[in-house]
Amino acid sequence: DGANVRMEFTAGDGAMIGNGAVMLTHNGGTTIAVLDPEAKTYWEVDVAKLTAGPLANMLAMTNQKVNVKDAGDGGALESFPTRHKIVTASADMSIGGGPAAMHFELTMESWATEKIPTDAAAFLQRRLGNTGLPMLDKLIAAQSESVKGFPLKQITYMKVTGPASMEMTSTTTVSNVKKATVAPAQFEIPKDYKKTESPLDKMMPQ
């Protein structure tokens, strides 16, 4: 419902998100509340304040490149016309000011439609603001400003080569899209829920 979003999880990771958890936001994902209906508790996080922490001061990136390509008509998904965009980024990375030890490559493909209100896309394409990693900031900004509409499908491929080489591909698809009226109470935290400490705060060094 515009910038109001409710997500219900069938299964969680058991650490950050539990089975049956509910996630709420009133501002497209700038701030998030995670509810535990069984325990009747919730915790909150201000996404805009998340940073890369101490890593940002140790990690240096050079030869940063970001490119956005309009791949044209993406065909119809869920009966909605889409536009296919491809965002690519690469950089050399070093730790502690030493010589470049790793090479980072990222490709993000998006099939988005402008037939669904873009407010609903903010939760899926959340701009994290200043992560403290310049290349990632540039990438996120490029994606947010160039990939318009609601993403019905996204494929992200990441490759890091060096002492700790790795490759990872993730695919997100949105299906069974319906338009309906949602009761305002669905976006509210029940008054009998108790606020608890965020798991993110517990992981942060004191």
Give the pLDDT confidence of 65-108 residue by residue, as tens digits. Answer: 888 889 999 999 999 999 999 988 888 888 766 666 888 888 88
Q: What integer pLDDT is reported at residue 88 of this predicted model?
A: 86
pLDDT in tens, 10-63: 988 777 788 999 999 888 777 889 999 999 999 998 876 665 555 556 677 788
Q: What integer pLDDT is reported at residue 83 of this predicted model?
A: 94
| HSE of 110, CA atoms in CB hemisphere, 13 A | 24
pTM > 0.95: yes or no: no
Q: What integer pLDDT is reported at residue 128 of this predicted model?
A: 36
3 state SS of 149: coil
Q: What integer pLDDT is reported at residue 131 of this predicted model?
A: 47
Q: What integer pLDDT is reported at residue 139 of this predicted model?
A: 61
**What's the average model confidence in pLDDT over 180-205?**
85
Q: How far apart are CA 145 and CA 205, in angstroms?
A: 34
Q: What integer pLDDT is reported at residue 71 of this predicted model?
A: 94
Q: How far apart are CA 177 and CA 78, in angstroms?
A: 7
Q: What integer pLDDT is reported at residue 127 of this predicted model?
A: 42
**Cβ(42)–Cβ(33) below 8 Å:** yes
* Kind and range of the H or E run holding 203: helix 199-203
> How would you classify the pairing of strands 41-46 and 194-195?
parallel
pLDDT in tens, 129-187: 444 555 566 666 666 566 678 889 999 898 889 887 889 999 989 999 888 888 999 99
3 state SS of 148: coil
